[in-house]
């Protein structure tokens, strides 16, 4: 099972959106949405492993 944690920023406020039971296609979709402003950090968890990705376009 893959879980994605996506940070969505609005000015100084950040919210975390959790995508449970995500597919690999959903992982790529969330990564491609990263723009360095409204979405600049995501974490992808699979079993006991986690990767955090930060940045922008």
Whole-model pTM: value is 0.85
All residues at 6 or more sequence positions from 10 whose CB lies less than 8 Å from its CB, including other chains: 38
Tokens of 25: 């296609």
- As a whole number of angstroms, the distance between CA 32 and CA 24 comes to 12
Low-confidence ranges of the chain (pLDDT < 50): none
- Determine the pLDDT at residue 57: 63
């Amino acid at each position: 099972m893959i879980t994605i944690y996506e940070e969505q920023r609005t000015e100084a406020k950040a919210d975390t959106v959790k995508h449970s039971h995500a597919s690999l296609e959903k992982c790529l979709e969330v990564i491609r949405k990263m723009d360095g402003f409204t979405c600049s950090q995501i974490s992808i968890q699979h079993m006991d492993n986690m990767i955090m990705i930060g940045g922008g376009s």
